């Protein structure tokens, strides 16, 4: 019987020793700013230190200007067994001492790149304390803006109880992080939809490259959230290289977008910033980075550019620019604040002003005004792009109508109708969809044939419309003599050229082979591999009083007269070498198609027109 009683007593003692225990260390701790390794000792007298509430950020507990180091001290009785400390969250890096023995360190003390340290459990070695006796606990904390100190619960207890408390707090922390991330998640959803929509617009109209850059910029946030969301919700920290790559991509796309949106070509400053962003990524691989300084530089540059162009924006572009300015102001202020984090009172002053101006809370959810701007900016950008796309679409419809009309007119003015006894060949290759070259072959009732070849200064629609006016004027000729024809065209073009001019060569082919030529500043025709000497008059539209002299020659049977536009002479290869007169002279006896093909292959940069008139043999 006595044996049984003794056995029960021993079993009860073992169960008592094995019971889990835990103690919440919330309450008053001793606190002192500064740094001294002696403050970790068990026998250090901290009776003259001030008291501070734990858990609570020290800037909210009477130390708003404190940056750098601060020490916490308290005492607690530790039971025998396998025990541990649990720190839910500390801002930023810290060390934990028990009776002068360091039992744990989290983060990088003394670093300007401070990050909150979440959910750390530190086993307490049995050699660091005497069970049941008061143990002196010291916590050395390094802080950069914005909080500082022990900001969440601290507990001590048996390992099993600490593990259970850590698991419960992990759920609480995850819920807090998710709630805090709701504005960012909303922003991510909006930017994802906006980015995809803008990229779709770019796929439909690749001429607006600002769609591409803004779409890529918008997709950076949702892609980063999708990749790192599990790590963020666990309270983890993003790797330095990951944050640097994300920041480099965001800033790079911002540079391309803003410059393109403003219709500017990135100059040396923009290229320098982009090169610095690339170098920053390589620096992050070695543990160094200047992301905050570069973000500040990019943001302030974009702010300056937008403000410079403010007065030229349309209404919706003005709203969009205001939203962009808020976002860039946030980036500039945040980057500057982090860059100045080791500057003491200055960083604190900036942080306080920034926090009061940009943040507020709604039922536990932190609302950051620049986040609102970041959501508003994509919405306004969609409005801007939709309006711009609508205007562009209407303009394209109008331009297509004009192009069709111009093509129809050019098809009429390029129609060939040779007279009996002559063979004509023509090749026309516009430099754009419509061109400014023209030619007309007009047979006469007397068996003659009038050939008119010309070139309007300039390119595109304006030149094509003026060429059409010339062709129209050829429909009411009073005389078919080349000099009279040019004078008539010159009068018809008065006040229509708008500072431009028209070169033109007019030739009348008689049935017997006699050719009369008058020239208005155009290239001389070629006969037998050489230029025909003709008087070069003033181009049409330059002077209403211009007089055009005529030159007469005879085209023998089998002979061919070739007319060219300057698109043949001025064709240039990749080295900038012109096709030139010598090469043109060498091939001037070839067919019109061969001449045009040779100039085009050399490097066409202007409309090419070649018209060849050959007198038939045996007629």
pLDDT tens digit sequence for 355-402? 566 666 666 556 666 666 666 766 776 777 677 777 777 777 776 665
Task: Please classify residue 463 by burial: count the beta carbons closer than 10 Å to its beta carbon, then call 0-12 exposed, 13-18 middle and 19+ buried.
Answer: buried
What are 316-339's pLDDT values in tens digits? Answer: 566 667 666 766 666 666 555 555
What's the length of the chain? 619
In the structure, what pLDDT confidence band is assigned to residue 449 with cuts at 50, 70 and 90? Answer: very high
What pLDDT is stored for residue 2 in this prediction? 45
Q: Residue 392 class from Cβ within 10 Å (0-12 exposed, 13-18 middle, 19+ buried)?
A: middle
**When comparing pLDDT for 204 and 325, which is higher?**
204
Report DSSP letters for 449-513, one per residue: EEEEEEEESS-HHHHHHHHHHHHHHGGG-S--SHHHHHHHHHHHTTTTSTT--EEEEEEEE-TTS
Give residue 517's Cα distance to chain centre. 58
Spatial contact of 233 and 177, defined as CB atoms under 8 Å apart: yes
Angstrom distance (rounded) from CA 90 to CA 121? 12
Looking at residue 94, its pLDDT comes to: 94
Query: DSSP assignment, residue 67?
Result: -
The conformational region for residue 548 under phi > 0 = left, psi -120 to 50 = alpha, else beta, is beta
Averaged pLDDT, 424-446: 83
Q: What's the pTM value of the predicted model, to 2 decimals?
A: 0.51
Taking residues 540-546, report their average pLDDT: 86
Query: For 369-382, what is each residue's pLDDT tens digit?
Result: 666 666 676 677 67
Q: What is the pLDDT, as a whole number, of residue 330? A: 61
- Strand intervals (E) in 471-618: 502-509, 514-520, 526-527, 530-531, 550-554, 560-564, 608-615
**Residue 592 pLDDT > 50, yes or no?**
yes
444 neighbors 480 (Cβ within 8 angstroms): yes
pLDDT at residue 5, rounded to an integer: 43
Q: What is the mean pLDDT of residues 114-125?
A: 83
The gap from C-alpha 25 to its chain's centroid, in whole angstroms, comes to 51
Where is pLDDT greater, at 555 or 226? 555
Residue 527 pLDDT class (50, 70, 90 cuts): very high
Is the confidence at residue 455, as pLDDT, over 80? yes
Percent of the chain, pLDDT > 90?
31
Q: Please, what is the Cα angle at 465 between 461 and 467, to 5 degrees?
A: 115
């Amino acid at each position: 019987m006595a044996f049984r009683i003794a056995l029960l007593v021993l079993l009860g003692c073992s169960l008592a020793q094995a019971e889990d225990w835990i103690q919440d260390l919330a309450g008053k701790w001793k606190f002192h700013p500064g740094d001294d390794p002696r403050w970790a000792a068990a026998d250090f007298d901290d009776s003259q230190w001030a008291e501070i509430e734990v858990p609570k950020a020290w800037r909210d507990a009477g130390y708003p200007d404190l940056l750098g180091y601060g020490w916490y001290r308290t005492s607690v009785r530790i039971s025998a067994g396998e025990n541990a400390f649990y720190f839910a969250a500390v801002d930023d890096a810290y060390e934990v001492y028990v009776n002068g023995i360091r039992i744990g360190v989290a983060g990088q003390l003394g670093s300007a790149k401070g990050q909150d340290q979440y959910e750390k459990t530190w086993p307490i070695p049995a050699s660091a304390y005497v069970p049941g006796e008061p143990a002196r606990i010291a916590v050395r904390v390094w802080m950069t803006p914005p909080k500082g100190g022990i900001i969440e619960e601290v507990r001590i207890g048996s390992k099993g109880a600490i593990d259970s408390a850590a698991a419960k707090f992990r759920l609480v922390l995850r819920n807090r992080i998710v709630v805090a991330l709701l504005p960012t998640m909303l922003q991510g959803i909006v930017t994802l939809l906006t980015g995809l929509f803008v990229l779709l617009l770019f796929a439909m109209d690749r001429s607006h490259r600002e769609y591409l850059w803004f779409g890529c910029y918008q997709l950076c946030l949702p892609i980063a959230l999708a990749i790192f969301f599990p790590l963020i919700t666990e309270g983890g920290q993003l790797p330095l290289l990951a944050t640097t790559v994300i920041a480099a991509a965001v800033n790079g796309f911002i540079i391309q977008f803003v410059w393109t949106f403003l219709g500017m070509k990135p100059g040396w400053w923009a290229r320098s910033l982009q090169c610095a962003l690339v170098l920053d990524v390589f620096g992050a691989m070695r543990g160094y980075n200047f992301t905050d300084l570069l973000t500040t530089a990019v943001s302030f540059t974009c702010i300056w550019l937008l403000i410079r162009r403010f007065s030229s924006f349309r209404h919706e572009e003005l709203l969009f620019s205001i939203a962009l300015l808020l976002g860039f102001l946030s980036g500039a202020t945040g980057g500057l604040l982090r860059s100045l984090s080791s500057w003491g009172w200055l960083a604190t002053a900036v942080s306080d002003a920034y926090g009061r101006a940009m943040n507020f809370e709604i039922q536990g959810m932190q609302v950051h005004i620049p986040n609102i701007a970041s959501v508003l900016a994509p919405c306004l950008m969609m409005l801007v792009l939709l309006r711009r796309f609508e205007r562009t679409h209407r303009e394209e419809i109008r331009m297509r109508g004009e192009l069709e009309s111009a093509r129809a007119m050019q098809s009429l003015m390029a129609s060939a109708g040779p007279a009996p006894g002559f063979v004509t060949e023509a090749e026309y290759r516009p430099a754009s969809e419509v061109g400014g070259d023209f030619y007309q072959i007009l047979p006469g009732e007397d068996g003659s044939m009038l050939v008119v070849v010309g070139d309007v200064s300039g390119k595109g629609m304006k030149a094509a419309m003026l060429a059409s006016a010339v062709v129209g004027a050829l429909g009411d000729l009073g005389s078919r003599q080349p000099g009279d024809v040019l004078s008539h065209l010159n009068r018809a073009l008065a006040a229509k050229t708008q500072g431009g001019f028209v070169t033109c060569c007019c030739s009348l082919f008689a049935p017997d082979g006699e050719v009369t030529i008058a020239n208005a500043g155009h290239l001389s025709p070629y006969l037998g591999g050489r230029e025909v000497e003709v008087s070069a008059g003033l181009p049409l539209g330059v002077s209403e009083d211009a007089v055009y002299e005529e030159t007469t020659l005879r085209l023998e049977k089998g002979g061919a007269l070739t007319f060219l536009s300057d698109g043949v002479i001025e064709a240039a290869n990749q080295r900038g070498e012109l096709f030139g007169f010598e090469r043109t002279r060498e091939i001037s006896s070839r067919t019109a198609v061969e001449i045009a093909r040779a100039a085009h292959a050399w490097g066409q940069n202007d409309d090419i027109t070649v018209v060849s008139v050959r007198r038939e043999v045996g007629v």
